[in-house]
Amino acid sequence: GNTTAATGKGFAIGSAALTALALLAAYVEEVRVGFDRWVEKPAIAEQVELSDDMSNAKAYVVSRGVLAVRSGDADSHPQAFLIFPASSSAQNTPEALRPLYDRENVGKSLTLDIDKLVADSKVIPNQLATIPDYVRYYNVTIMNPKVLVGMFLGVMLAFVFCAMTMKAVGRAANKMVEEVRRQFRDIPGIMDGSGTPDYAACVAISTTAAQKEMVLPALLGIVVPVLVGLVLGVGGVMGMLAGGLTSGFAVAIFMANAGGAWDNAKKYIEAGAHGGKGTDAHKATVVGDTVGDPFKDTSGPSLNILIKLMSMVSVVFAGLIVQYALNF
């Protein structure tokens, strides 16, 4: 059979995966910019005393683990610092946190040395932070419930998007069938060639359906990343992007290959194999091709756009998510 279309779709989907990975790295850079914008308004934060050698500087605790330091006059731009423990393992835990890891202290009321804890913490300037630093700061691991929920949402997003596009094809096809039946019924001479069908009506149905039916799937790719970011934070968004990329890539390849296989199976039988046209095998392949066409021509290629769209939206709204995401 003809595999040119399937090959082209495969290259297109593969390029989308590489683009999404690049946008995921760009998202981390936008998070850095979001921190810089966040610390520009330290009036709502708590001021912290600094050492004598930094008497001209002012520090503000903007949020948990975020410190803004403004050196010089009030017009100078503040610098963001990320604060988190220097080690997360029990063996290398600062002395102030060791009681939390002792079994005999479980359930007891403990008093921690906060000064010692601050001294043992690691402070990294925002401009020098790397991707592993942000991953550690936001605890982007599968043990983090926010990241795990984000991954599940990203996986489900691809399947919900495919379901919406497949249903859209079904609704448009039903409208087209009704219009064709109406023309056969109302316009005499179509069957014998003496009458002219109303082609414009069929084109209008396809054009209208192509635009209206994609409104909700497009909103799904725009709204979900923003909502996930505001509720689950940066970690949730990174989990959603990872889940959406992996599931979207796999489902897109599956749909392109399955749809192409169903289409070529019908052509193979129509060429004379297994009895040719009119047989039960041919009827079965016609049914398969009915599902295969939207698989390889609608939902599969559209996942390419979904992967890029949710990545771009996440990058654009990264600063908003850094500042206004819920902390729980």
49-80 pLDDT, tens digit each: 444 444 455 555 555 566 666 665 555 667 77
Residues 194 and 290 in one domain: yes
The pLDDT value recorded for residue 52 is 45
DSSP three-state, residue 173 = helix
Residue 89's pLDDT is what?
42
Q: Which of 103, 128, 153 is the last residue of a domain?
A: 128
**Residue 229 confidence (pLDDT):** 95
pLDDT at 110 over 50: no
Q: For 111, which DSSP code?
A: -
Domain, as residue range, for 213: 4-35+143-324
Q: Are residues 119 and 18 in the same domain?
A: no
Average pLDDT over residues 267-289: 90
Residue 146 buriedness (CB in 10 A; 0-12 / 13-18 / 19+):
buried
Residue 22 confidence (pLDDT): 76
> Are 213 and 316 in a shared domain?
yes
pLDDT value of position 138: 86
Helix (H/G/I), strand (E/B), else coil: 80: strand
Q: What are phi and psi of 76, to 5 degrees?
A: -70, 150
pLDDT score at 251? 92
Angle between helices 300-316 and 215-270 (to 10 degrees): 160
Give the per-residue pLDDT at 100.
42
Would you say residue 160 has pLDDT above 90? Answer: yes
Rounded distance between C-alpha atoms, residue 61 and residue 47, angstroms: 6
Residue 137 lies in a domain: no
pLDDT of 155 over the 50 cut: yes
Has residue 320 been placed in a domain?
A: yes
Structural domain contains residue 70? yes
Query: Same domain for 119 and 152?
Result: no
Residues 80 and 210 in one domain: no
121 and 105 assigned to the same domain? yes
Arithmetic mean of pLDDT over the chain:
78
SS3 state of residue 129: coil
Of 101-105, 188-192, 276-280, the range with the lowest mean pLDDT is: 101-105
Quick check: is 210 in a domain? yes
Query: In sequence order, what are the residues at sequence separation of 6 or more whose Cβ sits closer than 8 angstroms to the Cβ of residue 213?
Result: 165, 168, 171, 172
Are 85 and 197 members of one domain? Answer: no
Residues 238 and 318 in one domain: yes
Does residue 134 sit within a domain?
Answer: no
Check whether residue 272 and residue 195 sit in a common domain.
Answer: yes
How high is the pLDDT of residue 47?
A: 47
Do residues 83 and 47 both lie within one domain?
yes
Q: Which of 128, 160, 188 is the last residue of a domain?
A: 128
4-53 pLDDT, tens digit per residue, is 555 555 555 556 667 777 776 777 777 777 777 766 665 444 444 444 44
CB–CB of 277/267 below 8 Å? no
- Give how many domains the chain has, as a whole number: 2
Give yes or no for residue 299 having a pLDDT over 70: yes
Mean pLDDT within 152-181: 93
In the predicted model, what is the mean pLDDT of residues 231-237?
94
Task: Kindly state whether residues 71 and 16 are assigned to the same domain.
Answer: no
Say how many residues make up the chain: 328
Burial class (CB in 10 A: 0-12, 13-18, 19+), 271: exposed
Q: Of 82, 103, 128, which residue constitutes the final position of a domain?
A: 128
DSSP annotation of 78? P
* pLDDT-derived band at 133, boundaries 50, 70, 90: confident
Is it the case that residue 136 has pLDDT exceeding 70? Answer: yes
